[in-house]
Structure 1
Amino acid sequence: MVSFLRVLLFGVGGMVVAGAVWLVSSQDRLIYMPVLRGFTRSYPITPSYLGLDFEDIWLRSSDGVRLHSWFIKCFPDCKGPTVLFFQENAGNIAHRLEMVRIMLQRLQCNVFMLSYRGYGASDGYPSQHGITRDAQAALDHLSQRTDIDTSRIVVFGRSLGGAVGAVLTKNNPNKVAALILENTFTSILDMAGVLLPFLRWFIGGSGTKGPRILNFLVRSPWSTIDIVSQIKQPILFISGLQDEMVPPFHMQMLYAKAAAHNNRCQFVEFPTGMHMDTWLAGGDNYWRTIQRFLEQHVPEKKDDHSLNSAKGKSTRNISGL
């Protein structure tokens, strides 16, 4: 019996040590993947390849890191919403251009695409602290532009981008009008248990069973579940039920946590949507869902002339009754 307990303790101890070694040595490579297998870090295409007019924008993060981004306008005088799009953890912004092209057409919006530090043409190395600074630099740039309606800036994040977008939205209640989260995880702590199930007893978020003794080793926890409850702006949660990377219940948990504190939350499921293709699998319904959300929560402003005209019509109608 004593020998069995000794073996058991050694086994558990070995698992803890193995988990600790993995967290220290491999976590950044699993969380941040600027280069897809078979590709280079450079952009395979630019927006002009798809016939989109764009600006190359170079920013400086608050710690001095040089960042590259694309600002794509729907058309020269477009005053529709401006979507600040944050991508997933793998590849670069060029790999999202086909989706963005359709977004421009369907939503009649502008799109700002940021290359996180260490991604694409941006300098530096990715980290939670650094990418949070990068996102703020992108928003500050948009807030200072005079060719867009800065009251209609919408943050849209998918997967890791949702975690980035949630932090930015929470930190900027007066600059971000609304938030869209798609196939986003509750936290990297919880995702560690998804990627390596044996770690579930030693690492995880607030709802995880076990001692969570390895949490302190995670450099980029991205605890979105703790952020969404602090967001006051409208939030649209988009969940692909066939997501093979992030279990769909993560999105359900995020929605439940946010909706308990915010009555302007909406949750929409797409039965055939996978992690990267929910926008494609959802088809027309996907874009109509976002369009309705924007129309409800980020409506177009009427100019003074239109308002006065509307008031005049209203008065005449009343007087004619």
Structure 2
Amino acid sequence: MVSYVNALLYGVGGIVVAGMALLVAFQDRLVYVPVLPGLTKSYPINPARLRLIYEDVWLRSSDGVKLHAWFIKLLPDCRGPTIMFFQENAGNIAHRLEMVRIMLQKLQCNVFMLSYRGYGASDGYPSQHGITMDAQAALDHLMQRTDIDTSQIIVFGRSLGGAVGAALTKNNPEKISALILENTFTSILDMAGVLLPFLKWVIGGSTAKGLKIMNFLVRSPWSTIDIIGQIKQPILFISGLQDEMVPPIHMKMLYAKAAAHNKQCYFVEFPSGMHMDTWLTGGDRYWRTIQHFMEQHVSGRKHDGSNSRSSDSQSS
């Protein structure tokens, strides 16, 4: 009996060690996917192909890494809101151009699209520390421009981009007007249990000391759940209930954490939305939701901000 218990304990210990080893070895491949399978790192199209007015922007991050971005304008003299769009982890900014084309039309805005380091035409290799610096370099660039209204900068992040955008928004309370998060995860450690199901037991059943070790081993924790409550700007949470990548409960947890400290939080659900197509399946309601949010908090319309709103009050 004793030998059986010992064997069981050794087996469980082996699973824990193996799970941690896999997390360490493959975490960057799980978090960052600059190149889609079967494609190259280069851009398949550029904004000109969609007849968009754009500018190639080249930046230097604070550690010297050369970055590429597209600044896309609705009109040559458009001084309306400017959305900083931070993409999901797979592929590059060119794969989001069709969505951005519609965004310009529906929201009457400019859009700034940054290629994270290691993505598209940007140099370097992705990491949380590096991408955080990249996002700051992009915002600093926008703040120096004289052809836009720098008081109307909105951050919009989807999935990994939501984690990037949340960090940037927290760090720049005076420069960013509002934040939009779509299908964003609570943290990479939580996502590890989703992408590698057998790790759920390791993570969920670990002691506090074990969790500290796991957090130490994760190079890019992107723990948005730990910073969302520190953001003071208005936040719109957009959740696709059919999300096959990030469980929708992650968005509900982020909203609950934010709304406990911020009275200008709004949560909107889209029943047929999947991880990357909520903007498409959501139809006109999707764009009206964002437009209404921007009109309240960016375009100067008066808003009492007295209560946080759930999906019921924001869905009309």
TM-score range, shorter-chain basis? Answer: over 0.9
Report the AA paired with residue 242 of structure 2.
Answer: Q
Q: Distance in 1 between matches of 2:28 and 2:264?
A: 34
8 Å contact kept, 1:166–1:227: yes
Q: Distance in 2 between matches of 1:36 and 1:140?
A: 30
TM-score of the aligned structures, taking structure 1 as reference length: 0.91
Report the AA paired with residue 261 of structure 2.
Answer: H
Q: Distance in 2 between matches of 1:34 and 1:155?
A: 21
Considering only CA atoms, is the larger Rg found in Structure 1 or Structure 2?
A: 1
Q: 1:209 to 1:258 in 2, by over 3 A?
A: farther
CA offsets, 1:170-197, max 9 Å, x none?
A: 0000000000000000000100111112
**Number of positions where the alignment pairs a residue of Structure 1 with one of Structure 2:** 297
**Paired position in structure 2 for 1:192:** 192
| Structure 2 unmatched ranges of 5 or more | 302-316
- Is 2:121 the counterpart of 1:125? no
Report the AA paired with residue 233 of structure 2.
Answer: Q
Q: Distance in 1 between matches of 2:267 and 2:114?
A: 26
**Paired position in structure 2 for 1:104:** 104
**Paired position in structure 2 for 1:319:** none
**Paired position in structure 1 for 2:178:** 178
Report the AA paired with residue 125 of structure 1.
Answer: Y
CA offsets, 1:136-181, max 9 Å, x none?
A: 0000000110000000000000000000000000000000000000
Q: Distance in 2 between matches of 1:198 and 1:4?
A: 22
**Paired position in structure 2 for 1:311:** none
For the residue of structure 1 that corresponds to 2:89, the secondary structure is coil
Report the AA paired with residue 142 of structure 1.
Answer: L
Q: How does 1:277-292 map to 2 (within 5 A)?
A: 277-292=277-292
Q: Distance in 2 between matches of 1:13 and 1:70?
A: 49
8 Å contact kept, 2:23–2:192: no
After TM superposition, give the deviation of residue 210 of structure 1 in Å. Answer: 2.6
After TM superposition, give the deviation of residue 14 of structure 1 in Å. Answer: 1.2
**Paired position in structure 1 for 2:116:** 116
After TM superposition, give the deviation of residue 134 of structure 1 in Å. Answer: 0.2
- How high is the sequence identity, in percent, across the aligned residues? 79
Q: Distance in 2 between matches of 1:209 and 1:264?
A: 35
CA offsets, 1:105-163, max 9 Å, x none?
A: 00000000000000000000000000000000000000110000000000000000000
- Is 2:269 the counterpart of 1:269? yes
Supply the RMSD in Å over aligned alpha carbons: 1.0
For the residue of structure 2 that corresponds to 1:201, the secondary structure is helix
Q: Distance in 2 between matches of 1:178 and 1:274?
A: 24
Report the AA paired with residue 160 of structure 2.
Answer: L
TM-score of the aligned structures, taking structure 2 as reference length: 0.92
Q: Distance in 1 between matches of 2:157 and 2:205?
A: 28
**Paired position in structure 2 for 1:241:** 241
- Is 2:32 the counterpart of 1:21? no
